[in-house]
Amino acid sequence: MTIEQIKMPQLGESVTEGTISKWLVSAGDKVNKYDPLAEVMTDKVNAEIPSSFSGVIKELIANEGDTLAVGEVICSVEVEGSVSEADEEAPAAQNEADLSSTNALLDATNSKARYSPAVLKLSQEHGIDLNLVQGSGAGGRITRKDILKIVESGQIPKSVQAETPPAKPQAQTAKQSAPVPSIPVGAGDTEIPLTGVRKAIAANMLKSKHEIPHAWTMIEVDVTNLVEYRNMVKDEFKNKEGFNLTFFAFFVKAVAQALKEFPQMNSMWAGDKIVQKKDINISIAVATDDALFVPVIKAADEKTIKGIAREITEYATKVRAGKLTSEDMQGGTFTVNNTGSFGSVQSMGIINYPQAGILQVESIVKRPVVINGMIAVRDMVNLCLSLDHRVLDGLVCGRFLQRVKEILEHTSKENTSIY
């Protein structure tokens, strides 16, 4: 018998951690290789972690709700016999690295005190000495719920022999150990735990707003001809193809075409350089009642309007069925958001980090406009662009929006092919 470790995998580019949302197995369960062990959340996506071995679950090291860095052990599996040399070689090297990085923590705690990153972060924020906390998890392990219970009670345990670092002034030490003020909860208030996808969204949005200097601009577009063309062919299209021809597909196609002509817009900030992406992969926002997902239409500039409409429909179906994969979310270079579907006419989107721009397509509304000195009622839409001012300036963004406007205003039966 050998004990093998299952570790948190990297479930996407730039992903450094994952949160265990649900265990699909328990200690003592028999599993086969590739059987799903747990549901894990990263930035806006759910994925399942498969078993790398066939055997019996020995121990679930991480709890539901714990956030672990890529490479951290989440559970162990008891395997009959021994794995092959090829299977052992990589884990052995990784185990050595894991041991060296965790020795300091293990030396400072007893055998039952394996602290998850979520527990460590909460305890540091609230000045809680973990040596004085009685854990309720397996084997006395301290869980996130244990820390939250202490914070809510207001009874913060503190070490009697706490030492003050000689190099730090007393005021700074007091500031670090002071508990964070909590929002008072009154009768009738509802507390909604910040877990799951909402927690990942909050972290990603905070990072984007803190690191990216956002700027904003807007342009009006007359889409009267586009509306007439789409409404003329939508029923025939639905009967023939089996899915809807949405307005949004026309906008995504126009943006993809303009990105090809203005490649600066398809760039990312990389610290000491700007990376201009070759592929034009459009991220689109798909909302559920309590979350937002951003799947990617890859090589959107090479797809027809029909092809884009098909992918929009497929992604919406997958999101609502909970079947969106990590691969579906990877590789986006620019985001287009259909805020108009909720009736919005003007908004400022938060950029999808590390991209350099997000375009909000607002609601199409009939408005009076002046054409050749005459007032006419036209179908108008606002396009609102948020941009990373480290990467993009007003000149290129203005030209990009003008090109998108030109493409959309010339969309018609005579000029545009859906296929």
Catalytic residue positions?
389, 393
What radius of gyration, in Å, describes the C-alpha atoms of the chain?
26
- Parallel, antiparallel, or unpaired: how do β-strands 334-337 and 357-361 relate? parallel
Token digits for 163? Answer: 């030492």
d(CA 416, CA 185) in angstroms, rounded, equals 57
DSSP secondary structure letter of residue 112: T
CB neighbour list of residue 38: distance below 8 Å, 6 or more residues apart: 20, 21, 22, 23, 24, 25, 48, 49, 74, 75
Identify residue 121 by its one-letter amino acid code: K
What are the Cα distances from residue 376, in Å, to 344, 357, 369, 381?
23, 33, 5, 15
Beta bridge partners of 219: 383
**Residue tagged 């909050």 (tokens):** 202
Cα–Cα distance measured from residue 91 to residue 96, given in angstroms and rounded to the nearest whole number? 9
Type of residue numbered 51: S
Dist CA 259 CA 188 (whole Å) = 50
> Hey, is 335 helix, strand or coil?
strand
Q: Is the bond into 354 cis (omega within 30 degrees of 0)?
A: yes
Residue 302: other Cβ atoms inside 10 A: 11
Coil vs helix vs strand at 276: strand
Look at the alpha carbons of 163, 165, 171, 174 in this order and tell me if their dihedral is positive or negative: negative
Q: CA 76, 124, 139, 47: dihedral to nearest 10 degrees? A: -30
3-state secondary structure of 257: helix
